[in-house]
Structure 1
Amino acid sequence: MDSSEFLAFLESRQSVREYGDEPVTEEEISSILKAASAAPSAGNMEAWDVIVVRSEDQREALAEAAFGQEHIEKAPVILVICANYVRSMSRYGERGILYALEDATIACTFMMLAAHALRLQSCWTGAFEDDAVREVLNMPAHIRPISLLAVGKGAVPAARTERMPVGEHVHTETW
């Protein structure tokens, strides 16, 4: 894959909030999780964990924790990506909190792109009540949910969401 093919791959990914009933296979989930393991990680601590949620009851409870966002309930699989503070703080102290957040975020990005490569759709969701998600999934206190990644076969929106021009984000040498 050359750089133009890679950029086209990235640009063809869209957040999808409409899912069909077709299940995501164990092989597909395994492939997505293997991609996350390839993600860069601060000090190679891999301070992230993921909870694979398929149960309709669990997805419904997560949707409620996510302020009623229906795609969380409708997608066949929700990958709950979490920052594991203890893992990175064991080496980096307080700075490890930031590293765990970064590790989880990068791992989620790799999962989302792996799903896209498998011709699955996804939607990264960050709007939810942390404590409600912790309670639904019986998570320990040192684990923080970072994103709810809906994954499945879905309806890609007809129009792409407008993006800011790259130049709006870039500063040279100083701000």
Structure 2
Amino acid sequence: MNAQTLSVPAAIRARRTVRHYRPDPVPAELLDELLDLATQAPSAWNMQDRSIVVVSSETGRKALSEAAFGQPQPLEAPVVLVFVAETAAWEAANTDISAQATGSGAWNEQFTAMFESRAEFHSLRDRGLIRENAVKNAMIAATYVMLAATSLGLASAPMNGWDPELVKQAIGIADRDDLAITVMVTIGYTDAPPPHPGRRPRERTVHTELYAG
């Protein structure tokens, strides 16, 4: 673990998308901390309907680079995290989720009953939004990872340009229609942090009460 870590506001301001990496490996303890922090990300009804596949082998990263149309990040970065949305996770009993939440006092009996009814998930399914819901939850976890990586002195890049079937093949889920690729995040070190590309003024993108674009 790094002795000094950035605060959340500092990590948000310092984070950059890094496309080229040094070959230095990510220490196991840093990667463990990063993954622990990722699992703290919230999800609708605490369903935790997302998984992370950690790819560090040369063969696996090469396959991911090929799935990403030859982009260099997976080849250069020592670790690639593939975020998988589990679109059918809500159909399982998931008693461990409700047991933990009731045991800690986070959920009362009424909330637990609502969770067990899955009413919101049935509604999402009926409206064709169940996949979108799981993808959103996985993307929240990916955002946690990128900010945590920056706070720990690591570089990262979100990758959204890839063939989903090739990515699924690379991580061994080619036959799983219930699983969807959300995003890939490369993790490693950079010698030269790229400059900030800039953002529009807050007044351009933040509105009060009503959208005024």
Question: Fold-level match, TM-score > 0.5?
Answer: yes
Answer whether contact 2:11 2:147 (CA < 8 A) is retained: no
| CA positional deviation for 1:79 | 0.4
Q: Distance in 2 between matches of 1:118 and 1:141?
A: 35
The answer to whether the 8 Å contact 1:16/1:155 transfers is no
Counterpart in the other structure of 1:160: 196
Matches for 1:102-113 after TM superposition, within 5 Å: 102-113=136-147
Unpaired runs of at least 5, structure 1: none
Structure 2 counterpart of 1:118: 152
One-letter amino acid of the counterpart of residue 160, structure 2: G
Please tell me whether the aligned partners of residues 11 and 148 of structure 2 are also in contact (alpha carbons under 8 angstroms): no
Q: Distance in 2 between matches of 1:81 and 1:123?
A: 13
Pairwise mapping of residues 12-27 of structure 1 onto structure 2 (< 5 A)? Answer: 12-27=14-29
1:123–1:149: 8 Å Cα contact kept in structure 2? yes
TM-score by length of 2: 0.75
Q: In 2, distance between residues paired with 1:120 and 1:101?
A: 25
Give the Cα–Cα distance (whole angstroms) in 2 for the partners of residues 101 and 107 of structure 1: 10
Task: Work out which of the two has the higher radius of gyration on C-alpha atoms and give 1 or 2.
Answer: 2
Aligned residues: 171
**Would you say 1:169 and 2:171 are equivalent positions?**
no
How many percent identity over aligned positions? Answer: 33
Q: Please tell me the residue identity of whatever aligns with 2:164.
A: D
1:70 is matched with 72
Instruction: Give distance in 2, aligned partners of 1:109 and 1:39.
Output: 9
Mapped partners of 1:158, 1:81: distance in 2: 24
For 1:35, the equivalent position in structure 2 comes to 37
Structure 2 gap segments, 5+ residues each: 1-6, 93-117
Matching of residue 128 in structure 1 with residue 162 in structure 2: yes
Write out per-residue CA displacement over residues 55-112 of structure 1, whole angstroms, 9 at most, x where no aligned residue.
Answer: 1111111111111111111100000011111113663131432221111000001111
**Is contact 1:39–1:110 with CA below 8 Å preserved after alignment?**
yes
Q: What's the counterpart of residue 172 of structure 2?
A: 138
Structure-1 separation of matches of 2:8 and 2:39: 20
